[in-house]
Amino acid sequence: MILSVDRLDYTKGIPERLKAFRKFLIKNPEYADKVVFVQIAVPSRTQIPDYKHLKDQVEMLVLEINEEFEHLPDAPIYYIYRSFPFEKLCAFYSEADIALITPYFDGMNLISKEYIVTKKENGVLILSELAGAASELGEALIVNPRNPDQIALAIKEAIKCP
């Protein structure tokens, strides 16, 4: 399970992350029925038209990708548009094998740190080089959030990690 948790915001790069996941599935069909991507998008600025457009864009991408891979036993992407209390987010973190956190711009990005702290078993963090936490979390797989090929490659590398 690959997990991403973000506010639905333009700075988080959610559409590009979805496109990178699609690229990963296309380049690595042997993993298509073994990997699920859970994107939790917390509603943000819901009354602003640009954010409504972003929500529509993300939902359309999820639909397109799931339809493209409808031959799989399960949908490759689960999109959840809502907020969760911290305790429930911790349950997602502890179950996820990989956290995919690829904002274009972010301060510290506490999601990456929350993921690491809640892991009882092994897990892999794929983190944007533009997140503030990237300088502190050197063991993470650091990626350029605008490079879908690099993100797709990092997903494959993360899956292969012991």
The torsion angle over the Cα atoms of residues 84, 73, 18 and 57, rounded to 10 degrees, is -80
Domain parsing of the chain, residue ranges:
2-160
77, β-bridge pairs:
37
The residue-averaged pLDDT of 30-58 equals 93
Tell me if the pTM is above 0.85: yes
Q: If DSSP codes are grouped into helix, strand and coil, which group holds residue 99?
A: strand
Sheet of strand 77-81, all strands in order from the earlier edge strand to the far edge: 77-81, 37-42, 2-7, 98-101, 124-128, 141-143
pLDDT tens digits, one per residue of 57-82: 999 999 999 999 999 888 999 999 99
pLDDT tens digits, one per residue of 90-101: 999 999 999 999
Residues constituting the chain: 162
Q: Which fold has domain 2-160?
A: Rossmann fold (3.40.50)
Q: pLDDT at position 138, please?
A: 75
The residue-averaged pLDDT of 121-146 equals 88
